[in-house]
Structure 1
């Protein structure tokens, strides 16, 4: 799976286990580890939980002991820190016993693409072999043999063996994959299988207990526990992201296994970690995973609603330029010509604050609300335009698949005027070098570290289309826009996508 990451150099890992080396392909400076089976280590788990809870209540227990006239008989204690910790341990053990029969291990033999350089999906160096073996996890979602896992677990699979809790080893066949969310459905020929229950990720609460079950490093049915650390995370690894974050230990081999609540209901599908041993893992939310799985089972593909817009987060600097006093909403930075939003009257620079009455606080709220609508549905958008609110009704179409070019930095530069961005007119030679076919006339050929341009998020290779709503025809257009009050609202094109940036001058 090809992961693309913009921004800081964090260590990402998608968790599928290579039988030889538990590592995944690099992602622009990242070392990736794929997430994949032994019995539930109940005694070890309860010991860890009891120890943790006991230490947290130690001081209180000592104080109570000092105040009590005499200790209660050991066999009659039904309350207190130790009893409370034991009940928590029993809860985890019950979850493990209930959910583990629905968890499977997938042993995968995959074909590496010919001529591929760098790391293969299983971590081996390109050129070693055309065949690689690895493993991952999955969860049974239908009694007649449907298993949900990650796409990166079964990607390019030539042979899949699904290992059940009762020891059966059954051949698996991929029913469908969804690369946008990194999900896949595999089927085995069996009936009467135990099925995991779905929970609602929308109702999940940050801080609640969660349990991860899977096969890290091939140790099947390993159980780890933690809390739900955050919701609605995006890390730039997949096209569609709305991750649950957890500190429950997730390692290579856990990919595709369930993240469940204390009722044993699926809250997410474990998919990725940052680093190893950091306590930062991510799971695809159950509401999204269930919708994708249902479509893959019924039709083999996923159809999603599409508005035909691009958006970005509304920073305080941008909010001031667009008259958004509360700083909430999704800033539209691109409207696809003749797309559904364009036909309905949406413009770039609009701020969408609600979808069908549901608040849009940040850009991911817009994505979340739209992709849950069926294709062809009418969606009411609450839009803030130049400080005034209006309602626009858009009829969605099916989301297309698209790629994007990757320009290289330009080499020639013009002098910066106090903002730290060196601006260069786009001639034919530079256009060819960048692979740029757009209408822009000025490219950023260098950004000085720590400068206002750097702080505004500008990068080498960005093309400046407009400055304060004026078409940029030369570097002077940008400098003139900054001359009045030292600020300019720029419209930037980067790798086929457009967005806004607020640039200031020293």
Structure 2
């Protein structure tokens, strides 16, 4: 087992064992670029020593660990340190959940083991912060075990797929959704015909648990769904307009390759809403709908955002289309104004479902005295 980036685009793979004079030829059994893992097999060798996996889930911050590798070509280098943190997200991939350690890790350590003091593999050394010192990252063994099993059996990895876009929940969003905390993943859109759509999930639902395990945020949801095989069922706990609900979803298969990637109407004046949250709004015309990524004329077009306003601070932009306010469809400026003054003032915040360049997202804006 090693990192995918170690063997990626290699014409041939050779492995030099400790105390060996010549490297041995190996072949790549399978690779998982999304997790940056690869499985290789040494030809003609069946009696090799091996290490056993440990339980990375039981690791505690402050626990001693040992890293082994070939930093800068210095073979069989052993360094020692502690677990500095767990669950680190560093932007390396969609399933980031790294163990951070201050055991010295350098170029050449990639793919080497991170061991506990019992000699069990609890991580696979993968990345460093080049500008720092004593900041290295390892893939947890509990994540790697299933990947290696799939690569050995199928030469590829199959992951579950819901078919939704999601975002994290901040305090204002939680308030707008009548939630007690910010745990969960908010659905900003549901892809028609995909598993979530077939199971009845809708935009604005909040997934709070998968198979009884709490979903802390979007990263946790991605990891939990990806860990379930396609075709298997996932039991989701959701919040819909403040009410808890159980939904069973038969998962599809994640496509990793596909992932790597007017006039006024109704007599309403756009200036009527300028005082509302700093937004200048008007209904979307039929001619504008297609250009704005809409199937039909719906919602309110943000014609302007006042500088320094609450809307600008919430990153609402001119050209956005507001489809819902506090999970209710909105098509007129009067309806928007009423929602802000009534429900918004009551909750102290409004949550807007926005369509931006074909993508759906939520933005929350604090409301003070209905303004």
TM-score, normalising length from structure 2?
0.78
Aligned residue number for residue 323 of structure 2: 466
Query: Are the counterparts in 2 of residues 464 and 490 from structure 1 also a CA contact under 8 Å?
Result: no
SS in 1 for 2:11: strand
Correspondence 1:351 to 2:206? yes
What does 1:96-175 align with in structure 2 at a 5 Å threshold? 148-167=1-20, 168-175=22-29
Alpha-carbon distance between aligned partners in 1 of 2:23 and 2:115, rounded to the nearest angstrom? 25
CA shift at 1:206, angstroms? 2.0
Alignment correspondent of 1:43:
none
| CA distance in 1: counterparts of 2:241 and 2:58, whole angstroms | 35
How far the C-alpha of 1:279 sits from its partner, in A, is 2.7
3-state DSSP class of the match of 1:180?
coil
Q: 1:246 is matched with which residue: 101, 114, 120?
A: 101
- 2:89 aligned residue: 234
Structure 1 equivalent of residue 160 of structure 2: 305
Match of 1:255 in 2: 110
Aligned counterparts of 2:336 and 2:110: Cα–Cα separation in 1: 48
CA distance in 1 between counterparts of 2:313 and 2:194 reads 33
* CA distance, structure 2, for counterparts of residue 371 and residue 474 of structure 1: 40
Match of 1:193 in 2: 48
| Deviation of the 1:199 alpha carbon | 1.0
State the secondary structure of the residue aligned to 1:263: coil
Decide whether aligned partners of structure 1 residues 441 and 302 sit closer, same or farther in structure 2, where only a CA change above 3 A counts: farther
Asked if 1:182 is matched to 2:36, the reply is: yes
Contact 1:173 1:188 in 2 (8 A): yes
Q: Equivalences for 1:279-318 in 2 at 5 Å?
A: 279-318=134-173
Question: What residue number does 1:390 align with?
Answer: 245
CA separation of 1:220/1:390 partners in 2, compared to 1, >3 Å: closer, same or farther? Answer: same
Q: 2:235 aligns with which of 365, 380, 401?
A: 380
- Distance, in Å, in 2 between the alignment partners of 1:331 and 1:321 is 12
Partner of 1:490: 352
8 Å Cα contact 2:281/2:300 also seen in 1:
no
Report what 2:264 is aligned to: none
Give the CA deviation at 1:169: 0.6
Residue 58 (structure 2) aligned to one of 203, 214, 219: 203
**For residue 334 of structure 1, what is the aligned residue in structure 2?**
189
Return 5+ residue gaps in structure 2 as ranges.
262-270
Equivalent residue for 2:176?
321
Q: Give the equivalent residue in structure 2 for 1:60.
A: none
TM-score by length of 1: 0.59
Shift in Å, 1:164: 1.6
Verify the 8 A CA contact 2:316 2:363 in the aligned structure 1: no
C-alpha displacement at 1:330, in angstroms?
2.2
- Residue range with higher mean Cα deviation, 273-282 or 290-299: 273-282
State the 1:404 CA deviation.
7.1
CA contact (8 A) 1:210 1:226 kept: yes
Q: Is the CA contact (8 Å cut-off) linking 1:244 and 1:283 kept in structure 2?
A: yes
Paired residue for 2:266? Answer: none
The answer as to whether partners of 1:442 and 1:474 remain within 8 angstroms in 2 is no
CA drift of 1:157 comes to 1.6
**Alpha-carbon separation, structure 2, partners of 1:211 and 1:386:** 48
What is the alpha-carbon distance in structure 1 between the residues aligned to residue 285 and residue 5 of structure 2? 40
Count of residues paired in the alignment = 346
Q: Which runs of 5+ in 1 are unaligned?
A: 1-147, 406-413
Displacement after TM superposition at 1:285 (Å): 1.3
State the distance in 2 between where 1:246 and 1:374 align: 31
Deviation at 1:301, TM superposition (A): 0.9
Q: What's the offset of the Cα at 1:444?
A: 9.2
Seen in structure 2, the aligned counterparts of structure 1 residues 222 and 378 have a Cα distance that, compared at 3 Å, is same
Counterpart in the other structure of 1:501? 363
CA RMSD, Structure 1 to Structure 2 (Å):
3.6
Query: Secondary structure of 1:311's partner?
Result: strand
Give the superposition deviation at 1:159. Answer: 2.7
Q: Whole-Å Cα distance in 1 between the matches of residues 17 and 333 of structure 2?
A: 64
- Against the structure 1 CA distance between its residues 427 and 326, is the aligned structure 2 distance closer, same or farther, given a 3 Å change threshold? same
